[in-house]
Amino acid sequence: MGNLSKWVLVFATLSLAVSTDGWRKLKRSQDESIRATEEQYDEDNGELEPCQCGVFMSLQVGVREGRRGRPRGPPTGEPVVTYDTDSPSLPCSSGHKHCISKCLDVILKYLPKAGPVICGAVERDVHREKAFLFIKNCGDEWTPTHFSAGKEFCCKDGQHMKC
């Protein structure tokens, strides 16, 4: 029985050593893969795009006054309000969702003051228009997010007023 116990102990020790070594190799391989991916994105900043948020009013996106609807085509003119994130977003393939998330975080923070901000920025009177969120992440075109303020805005001479 003594020899059998020694063999079991030797086998258990070898198994533990092999599995520990295998775990280390797997962990090292994962770390190297992550490092290589990060270096690739650091070297190739052409794939990283800054995330821009833009708010356009109903008439700029083809939604007629008093009608419910989604933007019809690309917006016209310049956004009423823009926000540029501090750092580049993720690469284009996964950057849209990340960019939308960043923009929503900013918009939700300022939503209670949206009326005065929009009315102060728009250069015309506004009657019952909604504000639509667009992003610019990959390329030069504004992309609709299908998010809009749930309320309508009314502005007269740059001042926010109740609709």
Q: Is the predicted pLDDT of residue 127 greater than 80, yes or no?
A: yes
Contact 137, 49 (CB under 8 A): yes
Burial of residue 1, with CB atoms counted within 10 A of its CB: 0-12 exposed, 13-18 middle, 19 or more buried: exposed
Q: What is the mean pLDDT of residues 84-88?
A: 73
Q: Where are the domains of the chain?
A: 1-43, 48-161
Q: Is the predicted pLDDT of residue 137 greater than 90, yes or no?
A: no
pLDDT range class, residue 93, cuts 50, 70, 90: low
CA angle 111, 116, 118 (to 5 degrees): 75
CA distances from 140 to 52, 109, 128 (A): 10, 26, 29
> Could you report the per-residue pLDDT of 46-80, keeping only the tens digit for each?
556 678 999 999 999 887 665 566 677 788 999 99
